[in-house]
Amino acid sequence: MATSRRFLTAGIAGLVVVAASAAIVAIRSSASNPPRPFTQQERTSPTTITVFFSGPAGRPPEDLFTPRLGGNGWGNDELQSYTDRYANARMDGAGHLVITARRESYVGADGFRRQWTSGRLDTLGKWSFVSGTLSVRMKGPNAPGTWPAVWLMGDDIGTVGWPACGEIDLVELVGRNSIAHQTVHGPDRVGKPYALPARRAGRPSALTDPAGFHTYSITRTPGEMTFAIDGQVSGRVTRPDLSRTQKWIFDEPMFLTVNLAIGGWSGRPTPSTPSSVAMVVDWIKYSAATDR
């Protein structure tokens, strides 16, 4: 769990193939059936949404995601520069979104020279949710110095900043172990960050196949968050779990981020770290809470 990782810089271009309706309906991308944006009703009303990545190989997805750019370390001493290049975020033609970190010298518009590039995509201003279940099926590289993550932050990050906006980590994988870290971050009464792991029996969840596909989920209801891995509950965080000095700020709209960082909490890459490593997202599903 990082202590201060949440800086946003200006981003351009859009990304993702989207399907949305009251029931899960896949809208596949093709010349005759191109991707479409969410309708206003889909943005503001409870619904079920499924995101597939079925477009042509080498193309970025459309609409839902915005790439974030920069090599400023992102508050964590990260080593990559995030770009909006197809080489760092693209569809693979087999139904996946692939975010690739590459060992290469690169200077972005912010002037920072980095020896790695990668991708960071989020739905800020395009889609967020307050309650319901969000699931992401993905796999990350199992290599030293790699740090793939799927996580949420509050829509108000632009006005209140981090940690006041809150953060929920569906999963963070670090290349030095096989642990699936699921954590919530928020502010205390004086604005300092706290981190609360979502664990059962006091231990984080270990993956038997850390380089394979797994489904990571979060169910949000007022005052409670339930985490799951491959359909099995992996931990909960509730309002009473917080201390008297910790603020609960997790019942507000939050947007999704997927990214592959290098360095930071995961440590530095080693000579055994491949020069190209990938985080692969199979699908994203959201279902509004109805009976909890």
Q: H or E element: which one contains 258?
A: strand 254-262
Query: Out of 78, 172, 224, 252, which one is annotated catalytic?
Result: 172
Residue 232 to residue 234: CA distance in whole angstroms: 6
Pairing mode, if any, of strands 113-118 and 80-82?
parallel
| DSSP calls for 124-186 | TTT--BSSEEEEEEEE---STTEEEEEEEEETTHHHH-TTTT-EEEEEEE-TTS-EEEEEEEE
Q: H or E element: which one contains 43?
A: helix 40-44
Residue 239 to residue 241: CA distance in whole angstroms: 5
Residue 224 to residue 241: CA distance in whole angstroms: 10
Respond yes or no on whether the N-terminal peptide bond of residue 274 is cis (omega within 30° of 0).
no
| CB-count burial class (<10 Å; 0-12, 13-18, 19+) for 9 | middle
Query: Out of 62, 78, 167, 252, which one is annotated catalytic?
Result: 167
Is 224 marked active-site? Answer: no
Is 62 marked active-site? Answer: no
Residue 249 to residue 154: CA distance in whole angstroms: 9
Active site residues: 167, 172
